[in-house]
Amino acid sequence: MSDCIFCKIVDGSIPSYKILENENCYAFLDIFPANRGHTLVIPKKHVKDVHEADAATYAHVASTAKEVADLLAAKLGSDGTTIFQMSREAGWQTVFHLHMHVIPRWDNDGLHKPWDIAPASEESLIDVAQQITK
Ligand code: AMP
Ligand code: ZN
């Protein structure tokens, strides 16, 4: 897609710090990292988000994100990993080419969960489970 910055990163017209590449995916450093080594994994073909991706494309991104997670843990000696995938504006997506954030984590690295932890009522859990169970 001609006006997509991540497509331009894949075709090399915008520079990036490449971490790895395979047939279907490209992984590169996020230039506004949450932590040292924060890497983005994208499909080489343009697809907007989780809802528009076919299952095979999403699986390629997920398996490449796992490879990147293992690579970062091995090379950086991180203590853990957080993987995020934001879809659509309501899901906090800002670049509309599917990507997974792979963030190496260290004990006490100061990052915070983006939601408050609070228990749901049993009634609300039953209600939503009834609505979404297949
Ligand atoms: P999201 O907010 O989930 O859509 O994530 C988009 C991410 O892309 C952000 O974390 C940005 O820091 C990152 N980003 C934007 N432009 C570039 C770029 N040219 N190179 C690397 N990362 C970028
Ligand atoms: Zn794109």
Q: Where are the domains of the chain?
A: 5-133
CATH architecture of 5-133: 2-Layer Sandwich (3.30)
pLDDT in tens, 84-94: 999 999 999 99
Query: For residue 1, what pLDDT is reported?
Result: 74
Distance 47 CA to ligand 2 centre (A): 6
pLDDT digits (tens, 9 = 90+) for 103-120: 999 999 999 998 999 999
pLDDT reported for residue 2 = 82
Q: Please name which ligand lies nearest the alpha carbon of 46.
A: 2
d(CA 56, CA 62): 10
| Given the residues 46, 51, 97, 99, the one annotated as active site | 99
**What values do phi and psi take at 63, rounded to 5?**
-70, -30
Those residues with Cβ within 8 angstroms of residue 25's Cβ, 6 or more apart along the chain or in another chain = 41, 42, 43, 44, 60, 61, 64
49: Cβ–Cβ under 8 A, 6 or more apart, which residues? Answer: 87, 88, 91, 93, 96, 98
- Cβ of 32 closer than 6 Å to ligand 1, yes or no, is yes
- What is the per-residue pLDDT for 125? 98
The answer to whether residue 131 scores a pLDDT higher than 80 is yes
99 part of the active site: yes
